[in-house]
Amino acid sequence: MSTSNHDDVGVKAETTTPVFQNPYEGHRSLSASEQQVLGEYARLAATLRRVANLSTQLSSSALHTDVLNELRAIERKMGLVLTLFKASVWAIVMQQTDGEEDAEDMGQEADVMPYDTIAEEPEEDEVDVEPAARAARVSRWQ
């Protein structure tokens, strides 16, 4: 006959909160409303003590420490990924800027297109300066 105990598997039984007894009830030198207010403060203080004790238990567990260590390692890796991403973006921007400057130095118009930009045909109502020049530009990018 085996009995299963929840404490063996790490699950604690839910503790029941005892019915609160107002320590100021029936005090001779306090009025009824004062007794009630002081009783509420005492109940609040007891609740805060329970929360502080539970918080201490949860934060001191080995599982909590392991999770924090793993999160720190992930945070370091994410910092490295972010730094590499920024460096890649910076390299692309500098490459485009250098290409534009080289084109201007050669006396040409800067025809450096961003990587994801598709050459589009001009609208029909736009003034077309030279149809042959436009066709040459479009064919150059295709």
Residue 131: exposed, middle, or buried by beta-carbon count in 10 A (0-12, 13-18, 19+)?
A: exposed
pLDDT of 74: 96
> What's the pLDDT at 76?
94
pLDDT of amino acid 44: 94
If phi > 0 it is left, if psi is from -120 to 50 it is alpha, else beta; for residue 30 that is beta
pLDDT-derived band of residue 11, with 50, 70 and 90 as boundaries? very low
Task: Please give the span between the terminal C-alpha atoms of the chain, in angstroms, as a whole number.
Answer: 80
- Model confidence pLDDT, tens digit, residues 39-76: 999 999 999 999 999 988 877 777 778 888 899 999 99
Q: What is the pLDDT of residue 3?
A: 46
Q: What is the pLDDT of residue 8?
A: 41
pLDDT range class, residue 77, cuts 50, 70, 90: very high
